[in-house]
Structure 1
Amino acid sequence: MRAIEERLAARLAQLRADRGWSLDDLADRSGVSRSTLSRVERGEISPTASLLGKLCTAYERPMSRLLTEVEAEGPQLVRAPEQTVWTDDDSGFTRRSVSPPHPAFRAEVVEGTLRPGADIRYDAPSVPGLEQHVWVLAGSVEVTADGATHPLGQGDCLRFRLWGPTRFRCPGPAAARYLLVLVMP
């Protein structure tokens, strides 16, 4: 297991312990089975983007914040080869933390890549009112927010606040690469 996955498993277990929740409590709050939660916290399986989205909703934090929390306190500058990359092979999603990690700042920049056909759905916002800017660098992506689907091509930028379910889908034929700017409310 890679070091980031080990730290992620430990952080998820710590978040649950900090709240005094049992695995059953977290299963009720997240809609994820108790056995899956247990395996994720023990590092036996790597969580998918969808599963992390459900856990982030239960813990009321954006996924980018959760992943930043498993990184060491960083410097002001993070060179490209040192940026944390997380991949969900099942869904076809790769996420690069572009911004130097720091929990005190409200904004973050994330690079996302979706392979053709990738379709990621988040049932609820991790942080209601979280502001997002999606700027497509290559390919195309469909973003559904607030019940409206927005087809985005290279150079297009969509801004919205998260209040309900969202979906990121790459219709292909090429992979979609985009920057996501997250601003805490």
Structure 2
Amino acid sequence: MNVPAGLSAALHHFPETLELLARVQEFYNPDLRIYKTQSADSRKDFALKHGVALWHSDVNKFHYLTKVEPLQRALAELETVAWITGRRRDQAVTRSQMQVFEVDHNGRIKVNPMAKWTYKQTWAYIHKHGVIYNPLYDQGYTSIGDQPLTTRVALGEDERAGRWRGSNKTECGLHI
């Protein structure tokens, strides 16, 4: 049985992330439903409607429009009872107490199968089993989100240091 999977796909992904998505679809052939922002069909259209750099002027609105609302719509349209994340406890202090099974604010079960894994264990598994991954990881990115809000991480920096660099933000809103 091929269970439908919803993906909240922002307009502002790296090209490498979109290429990864195409490779995953080709290799695994999932029943993947892509959910994008309803407010624009392209980056140019998004900029015309919301400003050239909404991620600078109102990052919470940017994340709501490009990630949170599409995910909420996907979960509702797919009549989701449970959903799976790739979050780990060691990614951030805000995730350190995360459980493997949680209930989200809408009563859905949220499964975090990698909650107890470490960064090192994750990469050992990826390499041992030939899991397809984003090539940006090989270029110094350790946590990949929207292109305008994600930077490379220097050796010794926290894994998520490249996300929202220079701000106090620690989550995009999907898991709050």
On whether the aligned pair clears a TM of 0.5, the verdict is no
Q: TM-score normalised to the size of structure 2?
A: 0.29
Return the structure number with greater helix share. 2
TM-score relative to the length of structure 1: 0.28
More strand by share: 1
